[in-house]
Amino acid sequence: MINRIALTGVLAFAVAPAWAQQLLSNGDFSAGLKKWTIEESGAKGMAEVVPEAPGKRPALRLKVVKVGTQSWNLQAYQGGLRIKKGQAYTLKLWAKSDRPVTITVNCMQNHAPWEHHGAATEVALTPKWQLVTFPFVGPWNDDNARVTFTNLGTVTGQTYWFAGVSLTGGKR
């Protein structure tokens, strides 16, 4: 089951509360694409980090050069994350697209069987920057999970931007 979430349009980067542990590295793309993977399974994308996020901050810009046979054939992700079953997490990011489109954002296993067990949501993107907030509960214990922006390979020429990505979890 994929949930749908609402987006807000305030142009400010979210700051995690002090009690929450940041699980991602380079979520602000200040170190380029370090720790991020662009997966091209039969699709092709052109990825670069550009100063185009709100406040001229770095953003990942990903342009679809060639679509694959499945929409998920082009995706961006960061793996190696430790997720605990039953623990609350919050994924936040800024995102936009050059034209209206719906993508999927998830936390999934970074290995076979590639499950997300409901830790996924559909996000409707537009040409305006939007803050996406996706709370979820860890569906399993896994030392090699990943956060994925997927279903990107739908239209040749489509361009996406992602910025200010944060995954926090922890107890107050």
At residue 1, the pLDDT reads 43
Looking at residues 148-166, what average pLDDT do you find?
97
161, pLDDT greater than 80 = yes
Q: Is the pLDDT of residue 50 over 60?
A: yes
Q: Where in the chain are the domains?
A: 3-169
Rounded to two decimals, what is the model's pTM?
A: 0.87
CATH class of residue range 3-169? mainly beta
Encode burial over 90-122: b for 16+ CB neighbours within 10 A, e otherwise.
bbbbbbbbbeebebbbbbbbbeeeeebbebbbe
* Average pLDDT score over residue span 5-14: 45
Q: What is the pLDDT of residue 116?
A: 82
Count of CB atoms within 10 A of residue 68's CB? 16
**Encoded tokens for 5:** 């979430």
Torsion-angle region of 151 (φ positive above 0: left; ψ -120 to 50: alpha; else: beta): left
Give the mean pLDDT of 159-172.
86
Cis peptide before 113 (omega within 30 of 0): yes
Give SS3 for 111: coil
Phi, psi of 63 (to 5 degrees): -105, 135
Q: Quote the mean pLDDT of the chain.
A: 89
